[in-house]
Amino acid sequence: MKKKFGEPKMNLIGKFLIGAIFFFSVGCSDDQNNDAVETEEHHETEEHSEAIKISDEVMKEFGIEVKEAGPGVIKSHIDLTGEIIAEPSRISHIIPRFNGIVKEVYKTVGDKVSKGETLAIIESNESLAPYEVQSLIDGTIIEMHMTQGELIGNEAHAFTIADLNKVWANFNIYQKDLGKIKVGQRASVSVGSMDIEETGTISYVSPIVDEKTRTATARVILNNQTGKWLPGMFITANVYVSEKKYPVVVEKTALQTLEEQVVVFVKDEDGGFRPQAVKTGNENNDNIEILSGLNAGDQYVSKNSFILKAEILKESFGGDHGH
């Protein structure tokens, strides 16, 4: 077969045109994709930049509180556990003076008594004369070991009375914390299962370690006029061992996590709220140091900021955050 003149040339030109068309189409597609990526990235960076507007009524309804960031003190503490006990010097053991028969019993466990008040009448075996058993202190009867008609001796106590207006909070100190707990430190004492809390001062640290428990004892004396501290209660304490002032401190309840970043919701000049990424430092149970991202004087959401986070998450799913 004869080849036509110019056929190889035409094939070369055709291949060139096809390649140019393909290259051009790919280039346009890449440009469009790049534009789309840039637009998408720009959208993602700007997605949360719009301030969330919330009315005062909504803030009040949901308990959203705003505070001013500024200098603050962060106290470091050690957690201890222990129990409430009656102060030994405020416990009175009432022992009958003579053996005899219990004729009358006027008081029982739980009763409050006054010094000199009659608790029971006993008839002496020697003189057959009755005599009174009286309280030696003001306090509460916590034990009683007699009943009417019972023969009772003078070798055991019939009543135990405790003055519970002050009680001891004794705590166990493990060896790793022995050098950190000292007399004079402040301690917040509480009962976890109940709304009972009081701050006191460590008045005593034992000079020896218990051979069985390998712990020492720290003591806080608590006022107990209301009777809220009951001997035998299991208690915990935060003992403040150090404190330091930092330039910018906020409440820990202000922190939220968005897109793997720790943020605080900051109030802007127009009254809206926007998430601000922050870097944190030292902290305790209540407060945390802000190293960057927030300045002293900035207004931030201190409580229930999770509601603002929920608004942003709703927005990312196509919701509307106007209130």
Pair (238, 170) in one structural domain: yes
| pLDDT tops 80 at residue 317 | no
The one-letter amino acid code at 301 reads V
Whether residue 39 is contained in a domain is answered as: no
Dihedral sign from CA coordinates of 248, 252, 256, 262 = positive
Length of the chain: 323
Query: Of 193, 218, 244, which closes a domain?
Result: 244
Structure confidence by residue, pLDDT tens digits, 265-284: 999 988 899 999 999 999 98
pLDDT tens-digit profile of 8-60? 433 433 443 344 434 444 444 444 444 443 433 333 334 455 688 888 888 89
Domain end position, chosen among 162, 189, 207: 162
Q: What is the pLDDT of residues 83-112, one digit of tens each?
A: 999 999 999 999 999 999 999 999 999 999
274: nearest Cα among 258, 253, 296: 258
In a domain, 133, yes or no: yes
**Looking at residue 41, what is its pLDDT?**
38
Residues 205 and 271 in one domain: no
Residue listed under structure tokens 């999770």: 306
> What is the identity of the amino acid at 311?
E
Give pLDDT, residue 271.
86
CATH number of the CATH domain containing 63: 2.40.420.20
**pLDDT at position 28:** 44
Q: Are residues 63 and 113 in the same domain?
A: no
Asked if 273 and 129 sit in the same domain, the reply is no
Q: Could you read off the pLDDT of 177-213 as tens digits, one per residue?
A: 999 999 999 999 999 778 899 999 999 999 999 999 9
Whether residue 170 sits in one domain with residue 82: yes
What global pTM score does this model have?
0.65
Q: 252: which residues sit within 8 A by CB, 6+ positions away?
A: 283, 285, 286, 287, 288
Can you tell me which residue has the tokens 């201190």? 302
The answer to whether the beta carbons of residues 247 and 71 sit under 8 Å apart is yes
| Per-residue confidence band for 305, with pLDDT thresholds at 50, 70 and 90 | very high
* Whether residue 111 is found in the same domain as residue 58: no
Whether residue 41 lies inside any domain: the answer is: no
Q: Give the total number of structural domains in the chain.
A: 3
Q: Who's near 124: CB < 8 A, 6+ residues apart? A: 98, 99, 100, 130, 131
* Mean pLDDT, rounded, of the chain: 85
The arithmetic mean of pLDDT across residues 146-161, rounded, is 93
- CA dist 256 and 262 (Å) reads 6
Instruction: Determine the Cα–Cα distance for residues 14 and 157; give it in Å rounded to an integer.
Output: 119
Q: What range does the domain containing 274 cover?
A: 52-69+255-316
Picking from 162, 186, 211, the residue at the C-terminal end of a domain is 162
Is residue 82 domain-shared with residue 182, that is, in the same domain? yes
170 and 81 in a common domain: yes
In terms of domains, do 136 and 109 share one? yes
CATH number of residue 121's parent domain: 2.40.50.100
Both 176 and 212 in a single domain? yes
- 307 within domain boundaries: yes
| Residue 24: strand, helix, or coil | helix
